[in-house]
Amino acid sequence: MLKALVFKELRETGLLGLLALAVGFYNLASVLGYDIPHWAGHHAATTPFIGDGFVAEVAIMALFLAVALGLMQSYAESARGTWLWLLHRPIGRNRVIAVKLAVGTVVYVLCAAPPLAVYALWAATPRTHASPFEWSMTIDAWRYCFAMLVMYFAAFLSGVWPGRWWGARLLPFLGVGVLAYAGSHVFDRTLPLGRHWEWAWLALLAAASIYATLFVVRSRDFS
Amino acid sequence: MTDAILTQRLTKYYGRRPVVHALDLRVPPGAIYGFLGRNGAGKSTTLKMLTGMVRPDSGRAFLLGEPVEQLRPETRAKIAYLAEGHPLYRWMSVAEAVRFARPFYASWNQPLVDQILDHFELPRRTKIRRLSGGQRAQLSLALAVAPDPELLILDDPTLGLDTVVRREFLESLIQVIQRRGRTILFSSHILGDVERVADRIGVLVDGVLRVDCPTDHFKEAVRKVVLEFNRVPPEFPGCAGLVSSRQVGVSLELVVVDFGDGQRQVCESLEPRSIDVMELNLEDAFIEYTRGPRSVPLFTPAEQRHAEGIGVQGAA
């Protein structure tokens, strides 16, 4: 039965994932110097991951992917009325949600990470660009990528949140967003090894969002 | 024998308004129970509480002997639920919907599914979004009965279907019902459907169960009594079992449950020119019973148990 659920989730999110992947590689192609139209103007990498705008673009695209993915897996079930069908299957609600989140995470990682990984590999390959490269230069990009995974969990939570209007529904998403942003600034400036603490903070927010999602789905009314 | 459905003072509020109020419902195994009520009476909310989709504010519900909030997956597999509007994944084809639902169940009667799909001529490759409302209902029914459930809970399954499709759907439902021991609870506001299928009915009025009795008994018990006068009719003083009274020209029209000697004496005391007692069909009885405000509830489930066969709720 888990296979059936996984297959359903992949079918529903696959197209979005492929689209995000295509946009990610298109953007990467522009950064790598291919002469193609680009929304931010043509920009080839000078020093990879630093000052090329790539990390910010990846973060924005990952955020779009995270929000769309989270809402597609949660709010769409409400809009279609299919929670009533799905949650009546003889399987615990926690397992249904766990499968959804697991598939969403995999789709997110498979669609958001490859352009980054390819860019890093390209940057690490000698004679591809005239600037130094250290793997540590990619950490910010990976951190943003992880932060947007947290926003995926938050978007999922907002999708199942039983608010009467969108403002109330978006409360969890905005809350997690504010906490993630605030955490990055506070830890970075006040603690030694602040960036490491930031990873832990993001992991904590992810865990809290998942726990809240499971709690909400167990306790809310589906009508 | 354990009741298929049992609720104890089940209550749900939306805001300050009780949508379902202290509902005591008992559906024995093998019963086909028609759950009636006007729009907004609380039928859907009740069924959603029974399936665990809505949490009651107070009271408890048991399905097949287990508390709803702790239903084991094995027990849930024995309960089919058709939600209102037959929500299904519209991007799936008919065959994909069957393939998706099947792995959730240990027992799955694929020949029966094929039989139902063939009977309704549902093309396997057609996407659900291309099916009509009636076809979606038919597919829902096929998916619901495939695991051979002991209990079916159907929320207005014929809502929005045209007459022909509704008849076909009900005939299939009757065939499905024929399996011995299967219990069906279905809500509807189409009385003809209920009359055709249900052997017992409950009528929910403003969230309160006002009637709970065999279908035939409800029809037999509710009578329309017309008192003709040569003058302006007097105010009706009231009697046991009075549902409503209204003046129409020089007549008084009463709706009375279990019209008998006592009520006749009250009528005769008004000295009418004539007294006509008329039977009502189920639809008329339902309309008379559910329309208009009533200051005093005629029956409560508690009274039903002590009424010794008197009153609509009294008979079993």
* Mean pLDDT rounded to a whole number for chain B: 84
Q: Helix axis angle, B163-177 relative to B133-145, nearest 10°?
A: 10
Query: For B38-91, what is each residue's pLDDT tens digit?
Result: 888 899 999 999 999 999 999 999 999 999 999 999 999 999 999 988 999 999
Alpha-carbon distance B61 to nearest alpha carbon in chain A (angstroms): 16
Report yes or no: B66 and B72 within 8 Å, Cβ to Cβ.
yes
Q: Is B13 helix (H, G, I), strand (E, B) or coil?
A: strand
ipTM comes to 0.83
* Mean pLDDT rounded to a whole number for chain A: 88
Report yes or no: B33 and B27 within 8 Å, Cβ to Cβ.
yes
Cβ separation B103–A221 shorter than 8 A: no
Contacts of A72 in chain B (CB under 8 A): none
CB nearest to B87's CB, from A4, A12, A80 = A80
CA distance linking residue A203 with residue A181, whole number of Å: 13
Cβ separation B83–A85 shorter than 8 A: yes
CB nearest to B88's CB, from A83, A85, A222 = A85
Task: Output the pTM of the full model.
Answer: 0.85
Instruction: Please give the pLDDT value at position A153.
Output: 96
Query: For B86-124, what is each residue's pLDDT tens digit?
Result: 999 999 999 999 999 999 999 999 998 998 899 888 999
The most distant pair of C-alpha atoms in chain B lies apart, rounded to whole Å, by 72
Instruction: Please give the pLDDT value at position A193.
Output: 66
Burial, B248: exposed, middle or buried (Cβ in 10 Å; 0-12, 13-18, 19+)?
Answer: exposed
CA distance linking residue A173 with residue A151, whole number of Å: 7
CB nearest to A90's CB, from B83, B100, B105 = B105
Cβ separation B76–A90 shorter than 8 A: yes
In this structure, what token pair is assigned to residue A221? 């009314």
Instruction: Please give the pLDDT value at position A82.
Output: 94
Query: For A34-73, what is each residue's pLDDT tens digit?
Result: 777 776 665 665 777 777 778 888 889 999 999 999 999 9
Contacts 24+ apart (CB under 8 A), B94-101: B94/B122, B94/B123, B94/B124, B94/B125, B94/B126, B94/B128, B94/B131, B94/B139, B95/B124, B95/B125, B97/B128, B97/B139, B97/B143, B98/B142, B98/B143, B98/B146, B99/A4, B100/A4, B100/A7, B100/A8, B101/A89, B101/B143, B101/B146
CB nearest to B103's CB, from A3, A85, A219 = A3
The residues of chain A scoring below 70 in pLDDT are 39-45, 191-194
In this structure, what token pair is assigned to residue A179? 């906490």
Mean pLDDT of B186-193: 81
Question: Which residues 84-113 of B are in CB contact (within 8 Å) with A?
Answer: 85, 87-91, 99-105
The conformation of residue B58, written as its DSSP 8-state character, comes to E
Which has the minimum average pLDDT: B33-37, B172-176, B213-217?
Answer: B172-176
Burial, A179: exposed, middle or buried (Cβ in 10 Å; 0-12, 13-18, 19+)?
Answer: middle
Alpha-carbon distance B24 to nearest alpha carbon in chain A (angstroms): 21
Contacts of B83 in chain A (CB under 8 A): 81, 84-85, 88
Report yes or no: A62 and A69 within 8 Å, Cβ to Cβ.
no
Cβ separation B100–A8 shorter than 8 A: yes
